[in-house]
């Protein structure tokens, strides 16, 4: 798997890596579209997704959103404030009904002080997120809107794709506004690019799900030359 896909914004890990922290006493259940914390809010917990999906994003003063990470099962978030004591930079909200381990910072830090292997896992998680941010910057700097949209569908195919006849079905609802908020282009531009890709026969939408017919072509469009 190329690094551009490995460091996509959809982050998922085996929950087993957090077995020291995944205690049922910390488990909370939230409905979809529930705000977990706001940007610039002081928080006293870190989170690990057990099930569902969480969106981590930033809003400007006019309400425009830039999505940075989709936290899937096994993804930890909020831990950076344990090491850089400041308010949260990002806004976190559930996308669908979700189960999260909500771990108090003092207990999290106590676990870290007693477990070298856990320290390594947390460092690996933080390092992965740095690479995800670098991939965001790389795409913004060197890809046009067409390349960015193609890159999103390549990410989705590798993370959520299943064989479907002559194509790959994305087993996740995907909306144009969400793509736009992720790659920092307007929904109108996303619609235009997707329309062009459909005319080329690279993908189409069937029964509310996208089918990719030529992953190689989309991958080529998303490559930096």
CB–CB of 152/179 below 8 Å?
Answer: yes
Backbone angles phi, psi at 180, to 5 degrees: -60, -40
What is the predicted pLDDT for the residue at 42?
Answer: 87
What is the predicted pLDDT for the residue at 2?
Answer: 60
The residue behind tokens 């890596």 is: 17
Note the pTM of the prediction, 2 decimals: 0.94
By percentage, how much of the chain surpasses pLDDT 70?
A: 97
What is the predicted pLDDT for the residue at 83?
Answer: 83
Residue-range domain boundaries for the chain: 3-136, 143-221
Residue numbers of the chain with a pLDDT score lower than 50: none
What is the predicted pLDDT for the residue at 88?
Answer: 84
Mutual orientation of helices 116-142 and 105-114 as an angle, nearest 10°?
110
What is the predicted pLDDT for the residue at 15?
Answer: 96
The CATH architecture annotation of domain 143-221 reads Orthogonal Bundle (1.10)
As a CATH number, domain 3-136 is 2.60.120.10
What is the predicted pLDDT for the residue at 81?
Answer: 85
What is the predicted pLDDT for the residue at 164?
Answer: 92
DSSP string, the chain: --HHHHT-SEE---GGGGTTT--GGGEEEE-TT-EEE-TT---SEEEEEEES-EEEEEE-TT--EEEEEEE-TT-EESGGGGTS-S--SSEEEESSSEEEEEEEHHHHHHHHHH-HHHHHHHHHHHHHHHHHHHHHHHHHHH--HHHHHHHHHHHHHHHHEEEETTEEEE-S---HHHHHHHHT--HHHHHHHHHHHHHTTSEEEETTEEEES-HHHHHHHT---
Q: pLDDT tens, 128-178?
A: 999 999 999 999 999 999 999 999 999 999 999 999 989 999 999 999 999
* Three-class secondary structure assignment of 159-224: HHEEEECCEEEECCCCCHHHHHHHHCCCHHHHHHHHHHHHHCCCEEEECCEEEECCHHHHHHHCCC
CB–CB of 204/164 below 8 Å?
Answer: no
């Amino acid at each position: 798997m190329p690094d551009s896909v490995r460091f996509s914004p959809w982050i998922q890990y085996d929950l087993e890596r957090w077995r020291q922290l995944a205690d049922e006493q910390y488990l909370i259940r939230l409905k979809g579209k529930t705000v977990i914390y706001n940007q610039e809010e002081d928080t006293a917990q870190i989170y690990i997704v057990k099930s569902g999906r969480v969106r981590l994003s930033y809003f400007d003063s006019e309400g425009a959103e830039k999505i940075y990470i989709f936290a899937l099962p096994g993804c930890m978030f909020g831990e950076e404030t344990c090491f850089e004591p400041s308010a949260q930079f990002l806004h976190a909200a559930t996308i669908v009904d979700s189960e999260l381990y909500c771990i108090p910072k003092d207990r999290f830090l106590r676990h870290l002080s007693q477990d070298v292997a856990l320290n390594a896992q947390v460092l690996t998680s933080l390092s992965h997120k740095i690479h995800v941010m670098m991939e965001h910057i790389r795409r913004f700097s060197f890809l046009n809107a067409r390349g960015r949209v193609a890159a999103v569908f390549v990410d989705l195919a590798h993370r959520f794709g299943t064989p479907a006849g002559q194509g790959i079905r994305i087993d996740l609802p995907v909306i144009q506004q969400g793509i736009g908020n992720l790659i920092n282009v307007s929904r109108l531009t996303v619609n235009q690019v997707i329309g062009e890709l459909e005319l080329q026969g690279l993908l189409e939408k069937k029964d509310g799900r996208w089918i990719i017919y030529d992953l190689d072509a989309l991958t080529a469009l998303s490559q930096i030359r």
